[in-house]
Amino acid sequence: MSRDWTQEELQNTSKAMKVTGHLGYEEFCEQLDKTIFKAYCKDADNNFIKISGPYNRKEEFEKQLQEHFSHLKVITVLSEEDIAFIREALE
């Protein structure tokens, strides 16, 4: 934000953002703390599938995968930082 907001201005803006279907201020700040993780999986037909999402911890993402994609065999879960490190190491 380009200026200092009062708490009242921030709360009013946050409420207006929520009403229009966007993240409120608190949710936005929470999203900033998350990391994008990528899961590399295989299905029953041995097709390779990549699923990604923002989470605070790798374990959170793995739990969601188990609950919602139990039919997939998870090969590994990596953060974007992990992937960048591996790419650099291979160069």
Q: Is residue 1 over pLDDT 50?
A: no
- Give the tens place of pLDDT for each residue, 46-91: 999 999 988 988 999 999 999 999 999 999 999 988 998 999 999 8
Radius of gyration over every alpha carbon of the chain, rounded to an integer in angstroms:
18
